[in-house]
Amino acid sequence: MHNSASGQCLCGEVRFEVAGAFENFFLCHCSRCRKDSGSAHSANLFSSTAQLIWLSREDAITTLQLPDTDHVKNFCARCGSAVLYVLTKHGVLVVPAGALDSSITNKPNGHICCASRAEWDTDLESLVRINGLPG
């Protein structure tokens, strides 16, 4: 991705823009990311060069840093949605793909931490696809 992408939390309190390119896009299946997302994996974009621009309510972000790990989660204190953060130790901006409102051209580079994936996370491509809620 070049140029910029914008995003926000679910309630719209926290809004941001990312100016620059994402170098990587990974789907992480580790137990921490599964707990963060409440799903099979997290979907995060990474950039070592992009600039972060806060558009509103940076002060509404709560940060959880798990002790003795690199695992960080920034989230809106009002709605709990995951928002981006800077992994300072590595100098990398980490952006949850689901927090972006802009379309991006990046496709995931791959699945990571697959040894930790949930036991039910297999053969998901074979499941029926429904364009709305089941009914």
For residue 103, the domain's CATH number is 2.170.150.70
Q: Could you tell me if residue 113 is inside a domain?
A: yes
In a domain, 131, yes or no: no
Range of the domain at 25: 4-119
pLDDT band at 135 (very low <50, low <70, confident <90, very high): confident
Number of domains in the chain: 1
Is 2's pLDDT higher than 80? no
Does residue 1 carry a pLDDT above 50? no
Asked, for residue 127, whether it belongs to a domain, the answer is no
What whole-number distance in Å separates Cα of residue 6 and Cα of residue 113?
28
Query: Across residues 25-37, what is the average pLDDT?
Result: 93
Q: Is residue 124 part of a domain?
A: no
> Is 92 contained in some domain?
yes
3-state secondary structure of 133: coil
What residues contact residue 117 under an 8 Å CB cut-off, 6+ apart? 29, 40, 41, 111
pLDDT digits over 34-68, tens only? 998 999 999 999 999 999 999 999 888 999 988 88
Given this model, what pLDDT does residue 122 score?
87
99 and 15 in contact (C-beta within 8 Å)?
A: no
Residue 116 has pLDDT above 50, yes or no: yes
Residue 48 inside a domain? The answer is yes
